[in-house]
Every structure is written in structure tokens, then in C-alpha cells.
Structure 1
């Protein structure tokens, strides 16, 4: 199975590259990679903005790096580009976003268990009722996202295909890292 970490965006709302933001002792990209690698997934790191700066802190032999050509068009375009690139491998893919510092190894393991129990279902995380990646997409459903465009997230996908989706609920708070206020929140939380 592939763990696909989307870290290609320019972070325009935050005003600085999210992937390079330090929380505690690690950058967001290092924290996210650590979570995926702890689950023994074959990790593909998707980069766009700040490619060279991110590559400089990631050991080249630790992950496969995919350089998106469509990253400026938004998350949906980047996701569809990656899924088409990975299609010949015919593997299930767990998609994680770099700006979700609340995601831990326990969440990935629960998602993998849910996939084991329901291998044909798209497994969607729900944090206090907020649906969000990580999302596990079995190979047979990935083509439904091949034409995803723009800055489209997963919401329209699961609303359009509820019969193939299964939600897994977590009690952890959902709060991504998009704004300067989010940055302050997470820096304070990770300092304790």
C-alpha cells in the first residue's frame, strides 16, 4: 500500500510554506512522513512549491518524491495527477495532507484495520464529525478521481459516492494548519 503525502501547496493563507513550518523539533513534512513511515507504508511525497527547500531536509533514500506539474492548480488537480501517475502500480493508496498535525500513527493503524475489514470501501476519517484525510482509496475506486480539478477537496467525492464510503470516527479535535492563528495554536500545543 502507498502512503501519499500531499505537500505541494504554496500556503498562501498562512503566508509561509506549511511543509517547512517547525512544530516542536520537526517540520510539518518530517512529522507527517514519520507518521506514515511508522505504519510501514511505501511513502510517496508530493511536492510543488518549495521543492528544493523540502528536498534539502528529507533524506533522499527515505521516500519517493513526486514533483507535481499541476500543484498551482490546487489540491484536487495535484491529487488526480498523482493517482494517474501511480495507477500502473495497482495499489491501494492512503492520502494524507501535510497540514494535519493532529494525525497520529494510531489513526493510520485504525484506518488500515478498517480497510482490512472492508477492503472495497473508501475509508474516510472523521474527527469530531469533521470528515477529513487521511482517506484510504482502494485501487478500484481511484479512477473516479482521475479528472479531479482545481482546489477541490474530498467532500464532493464522498457526497457523490456514499455507497462506496465508510467513515471511521475519532474523538481527536480537527484543526488543520491554514492560517497564522492555526500556526500559533499548534506551536503552543506542540511546545507543551
Structure 2
């Protein structure tokens, strides 16, 4: 890979209040760890990446979890209740301040328990191979997170509002998007039932 491709930002969106679950899903126990730490451990294996975690609800609890990862930056989104877009904008803005030479950014969530470093590496490799500006995970007949955006889409992401998410940008530029299969990517934790299924 050329050095130009090396500067990849990875933004973990961890600001939600898990309203359907009733407790912070980021901190649910999983694999002798938590869902958030498991996601971070996998992402930390991705070479040449700079990681930022966007916190919101329960930010103090979550930031305490991250003390064991000194290289990871956190940024607090005071508008987390206004919807996913505010966390995308907050994370990307912080990335551009801290790592202004970022050539692309991957957005991830922390409630996909089956995410692995390979999922991220596949996105990066497919984006390079196909020269597409967006590489999105494909599962359950949809495109979603984790998703990689070339820097040419940063402005479109920074313009997202309210409940809009990364999917709006993907759908707008589908002709410049490569779908990258992510097995079990559709399994996420929204309810106590989801969590019980995961750990049973």
C-alpha cells in the first residue's frame, strides 16, 4: 500500500443511550470483556489506523473503560440525543483536527459482536482494489457499518442532519460504492433478548 493510503481514521460511534435495552450496551459483558472493548481490540489490529470513540450518554462510564487503550482518542458529543448524524459529524470533525492527513474514514458501531479486524481490512483492501470511494459492509440485503468513506465524501458526511446516518451518503453515491460481505453483520444488540441470544 502506498503511504497515501496509510492514514485511515476509524470512528467508533458509542454515544447512544441504548434506550431499548435499558443499560449501556457498550459495556455489556462479552468474551471476558465488553462489547466496546471487543470492538476496539479488533480495530486496534488494523495497521496505520487512528481511532476515535465518540461518547455521549454514559460518557464517564465509557471513558473509564477506555483508559486501558492510551492510544485511542475520545470525543464527547453533547448533542447525542439529536440522532446518529451528530455523532458522525463530531467524530469526523475531531478526526480532521487530530489527523488532518486522513485519506479515508471508517465508521463503526460497538454492538456488532462478530466484527473482526478482517472486516475492516477487507473494506480497506476492496476500496483500494476497486478504486471505489465507499466500501460498505453487506449483510441481510442491506449495506451498513462498518463503512469506509474516501475523503472526497467528508463534506457530505459533515452535512448530515438529525436521524440521517451514513446510509444516506451510501445511497446517494451507490455507483461509487463496493459491497463487502460481512458474515453475521446483521447481528446487533438492541434488546435484552438479543443479548441473551448472543451469550447463550
Q: TM-score, normalized by length of structure 2? A: 0.86
Q: How many Å apart are 1:154 and its aligned residue?
A: 2.6
CA contact (8 A) 1:5 1:43 kept: yes
Q: TM-score, normalized by length of structure 1? A: 0.90
Distance in 1 of aligned mates of 2:21 and 2:10: 25
Q: How many Å apart are 1:69 and its aligned residue?
A: 2.1
CA contact (8 A) 1:128 1:169 kept: no
Q: How many Å apart are 1:60 and its aligned residue?
A: 5.5
Residue 82 of structure 1 aligns with which residue? 91
CA contact (8 A) 1:70 1:81 kept: no
Residue 149 of structure 1 aligns with which residue? 161
Residue 159 of structure 1 aligns with which residue? 171
Find 2:54's aligned residue among 40, 46, 56: 46
Residue 33 of structure 1 aligns with which residue? 40
Find 2:110's aligned residue among 88, 98, 115: 98
Q: How many Å apart are 1:119 and its aligned residue?
A: 4.3
Residue 56 of structure 1 aligns with which residue? 64
SS of match in other structure, 2:106: strand
TM superposition outliers: structure 1 runs of 4+ over 4 Å: none
| Greater Cα shift, 2-11 or 67-76 | 67-76
Residue 123 of structure 2 aligns with which residue? 111
Q: How many Å apart are 1:128 and its aligned residue?
A: 4.0
Residue 7 of structure 1 aligns with which residue? 14
Question: Runs of 5+ in structure 2 lacking a partner?
Answer: 1-7
Q: How many Å apart are 1:71 and its aligned residue?
A: 1.1
Question: Runs of 5+ in structure 1 lacking a partner?
Answer: none
Distance in 2 of aligned mates of 1:93 and 1:163: 19
CA contact (8 A) 1:90 1:139 kept: no
Aligned length: 188
Distance in 2 of aligned mates of 1:11 and 1:118: 36
